[in-house]
């Protein structure tokens, strides 16, 4: 699980790849559609897609000369679940810290 999370978060660490995720949330898209709006050369963009596919974040299918990518919701969900579990832990700690600070403030007054 840790290795999968590492590759997922590594894939999401790049703004170009996050932009592709934003596009694919709306449904499958071809390479040319995904590349539209990006100023980088196509071979460079394809490297980003390869990283995303290697992380399990997306899958692709090829029909003739057209390659189409789509999100893998299960991989994205695994990352979200991990973040949510840690969010709850830290929110609990922050609530306890805020309560302690209030108690200390009342004691000083």
Instruction: Express each pLDDT in 10-20 by its tens digit.
Output: 999 999 999 99
Tell me what pLDDT residue 11 has.
94
Interhelix angle 42-54/2-11, rounded to 10 degrees, is 160
Tell me what pLDDT residue 1 has.
58
Q: What are the start-end ranges of the H helices in the chain? A: 2-11, 15-24, 31-35, 42-54, 73-108
Number of domains in the chain: 1
Q: In this structure, what CATH number is given to the domain that contains residue 34? A: 1.10.10.10
- Running DSSP on this structure, what letter comes out for residue 30? E
Q: Find out whether 67 and 58 touch, Cβ atoms under 8 Å.
A: no
Asked whether the predicted pLDDT for residue 102 surpasses 90, the reply is no
Global pTM exceeds 0.85: no
CA dihedral for 84, 77, 13, 11, sign (positive or negative): positive
pLDDT digits (tens, 9 = 90+) for 43-79: 999 999 999 999 999 999 999 999 999 999 898 888 8
- Residue 79's domain comprises 2-108
């Amino acid at each position: 699980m840790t290795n999968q999370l590492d590759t997922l978060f590594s894939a999401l660490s790049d703004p170009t790849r996050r932009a592709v995720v934003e596009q694919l949330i709306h449904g499958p898209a071809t390479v040319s559609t995904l590349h539209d709006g990006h100023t980088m050369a196509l071979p460079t963009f394809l490297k980003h897609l390869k990283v995303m596919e290697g992380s399990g974040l997306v899958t692709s299918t090829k029909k003739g000369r057209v390659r189409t990518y789509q999100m893998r919701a299960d991989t994205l969900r695994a990352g979200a679940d991990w973040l949510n579990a840690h969010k709850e832990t830290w929110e609990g700690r922050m609530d306890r810290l805020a309560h302690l600070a209030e108690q200390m403030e009342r004691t000083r007054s």
